[in-house]
Amino acid sequence: MSNKVLIIIGDATETVDTLYPYYRLQEDGYEPIVAAPEKRRYQMVMHEVKPGWTITKEWEGYTLDAVIAFKDIKPEEYAGIFFSGGRAPEYIREDEDLLRVTRHFFETNKPVASVCHGVEIPARAGCVKGRRMATVAKCRFDLEVCGGIYVNEACVVDGNLVSGRTFHDNGRYFGAFMKLLNAARK
């Protein structure tokens, strides 16, 4: 079994959604492979709903290099896939190569994780019908219109699929994803 795990990003990917999993994967001996529409540097953002605000405030975060473009991914070479949040999923979810890769992980029952807006990618790929998932509340519609079941919890496990609502849930849902990866590695 491969030790490589895809991390799916684009411009305006949420910084904490992305970097926590990136380093956590390394702790267990996995190689996080950052994938995006093109092989280049991407600008991440930080999101928070400030006290008194009703919408998300956004600041520039760190940058991160994608080492592979979606079109070059051979999904059979990877142990799992993680869909990060932020605004990026809304813009990259129409990429046919990303949809092909996403479907592979669901069809082969390999470990999949999603946080926040990341749900928009497997939803668009037609992979969430009948599946229970957590996501940020404002993406509930995206999940449900595609046949998924919204669950407002910090960690939702549905077979090979693990999800959390926002980066505030990183310490709760990502451990469940690591357990799936480690069980598949044995």
Looking at every residue in the chain, the average pLDDT score rounds to 96
Q: What is the pLDDT of residues 76-123, one digit of tens each?
A: 999 999 999 999 999 999 999 999 999 999 999 999 999 999 999 999
Active site residues: 117
Query: Rounded to whole angstroms, how far apart are CA atoms 151 and 154?
Result: 9
Q: What is the pLDDT of residues 136-145, one digit of tens each?
A: 999 999 999 9
The pLDDT assigned to 58 comes to 84
3-state secondary structure of 134: coil
How would residue 18 be classed by pLDDT, with cut points 50, 70 and 90?
Answer: very high
Q: What would the two tokens of residue 121 be? A: 């990618």
The pLDDT assigned to 59 comes to 87
pLDDT over 80 (residue 186): no
Q: pTM of the prediction?
A: 0.96
As assigned by CATH, the class of the 4-185 domain is: alpha beta
Q: Please state, as a whole number, how many other Cβ atoms lie within 10 Å of the Cβ of residue 95.
A: 20
Sequence-ordered strand ranges (E) for the chain: 4-8, 13-14, 31-36, 41-48, 57-65, 68-69, 80-83, 112-115, 132-133, 149-150, 156-158, 161-164
Domain coordinates of the chain in residue numbers?
4-185
